[in-house]
Structure 1
Amino acid sequence: MTEILFYHLTESRLEDALPGLLERSLAKGWRVVVQFASEERRDALDHHLWVYRDESFLPHGSDSDGSGALQPILLTVEAGREDNDPQVRFLVEGATPPPLDRYVRAVYLFDGHDEAQIARARERWKIEKAAGHAVTYWQQTDEGRWMKKA
């Protein structure tokens, strides 16, 4: 059974929240794939992860550069892309996942100011719960911290 977390962004943008979550995954020794809904967002986040904080480094690559198997974090737009043998799959901005049974954890991040993303997250919650996965829902507090709501 895969642990599936839903992260509801209410106080920060994806660019602000994702790096910290990726750092925590790497600290646990997990390899990660981040699946985007568009190449434009993938490429923007690819650039952002190199410069988001001076004192940090997140080793990563994109499926567009051909080095996926070497990457601790692989950024992709493809549902079946798993070149780096990940234990965790992040799904952002409504990306449609592959079957999630093979992962230790899957994480849906969705923008609380985007009605389409909220609707998609609700739909995926029902699907993942019906599939027997352990699902939890986390929402940001006013300070931007994560609080478990369900």
Structure 2
Amino acid sequence: MTVIDFYILGHTDELARFNFACRLSEKAYGEGHQVYVHVENEDQAKRLDALMWQYKPESFLPHNLVNQEQSAPIQIGWQNHPSHHYDVMINLNSPQPNFFSRFARVLEIVVQDEKVLEQTRKHFKFYKDRGYEVTHRDLRG
């Protein structure tokens, strides 16, 4: 069964959320996982793509957008059902995609923005109501 982790940040902006998605992607990739980052739309995907190229000068995050020909270990998408991914999904979209359960882990990033807080509360309740193992890591301290 899919394991769900919520990471609660003290920040309020999308950039902090995207930077943390880069950090989680780097960690998961470093542990040998394939990562799919699910965003709302193509514009967000392109912004996250650009951020991953600049994330850390000493780090390399092999990634690409899902609709590109090559298949990197980290992929960014906004459409339904990335058929070749099943390991780790970082969800930055609401509602959560209906294909989330085929991933071993789903990571949700919470920032202190009212819209994001409301969405991720709904996600948390959705997962819990269906019996998924849900943990949260409060990183606001």
Shorter-chain TM-score bucket reads 0.7 to 0.9
Higher helix share: 2
| Partners of 1:46 and 1:75 within 8 A in 2 | yes
The one-letter amino acid paired with 1:78 is: Q
- How many angstroms does 1:95 deviate by? 5.2
Q: Where does structure 1 lack aligned partners over 5 or more consecutive residues?
A: 143-150
Distance 2:45 2:137 in 1: 23
Does the CA contact (< 8 Å) of 2:38 and 2:93 recur in 1? Answer: no
Aligned position for 1:136: 135
- Aligned position for 1:75: 76
State how far apart, in whole Å, the 2-side matches of 1:89 and 1:79 are: 13
CA contact (8 A) 2:37 2:75 kept: yes
Letter in 2 for 1:91: N
The TM-score, its normalising length taken from structure 1, stands at: 0.83
Aligned to 1:101, the other structure's residue is in SS state: helix
Return the alpha-carbon distance in structure 2 between the equivalents of residues 50 and 95 of structure 1. Answer: 27
Q: How many residues get paired?
A: 138
- Indicate conservation of the 8 Å contact 2:41/2:78, yes or no: yes
Where does residue 147 of structure 1 map in the other structure?
Answer: none
**Alignment gaps of 5+ in structure 2:** none
Partner of 2:8: 8
Question: Which letter does structure 2 place at the counterpart of 1:76?
Answer: G
Q: Verify: 1:48 aligned to 2:51, yes or no.
A: yes
Instruction: Judge conservation of contact 1:79–1:96 (CA < 8 Å) in 2.
Output: no
Q: Deviations over 1:111-149 (max 9, x none)?
A: 21x21111111111111111111101122234xxxxxxx
| Structure 1 runs of 4+ with >4 Å offset | none
Matches within 5 A, 1:39-118: 39-67=42-70, 70-83=71-84, 85-94=85-94, 96-112=96-112, 114-118=113-117
Which residue identity is paired with 1:92?
L
Higher relative contact order (CA 8 A, sep 6+): 2
Aligned partners of 1:20 and 1:52: how far apart in 2? 8
2:26 maps to 23
The alignment partner of 2:90 has SS state of: strand
| 3-state secondary structure, aligned to 1:30 | coil
**Match of 2:126, SS?**
helix
Q: Percent identity over the alignment?
A: 26
User: 1:97 deviation in Å?
Assistant: 1.6
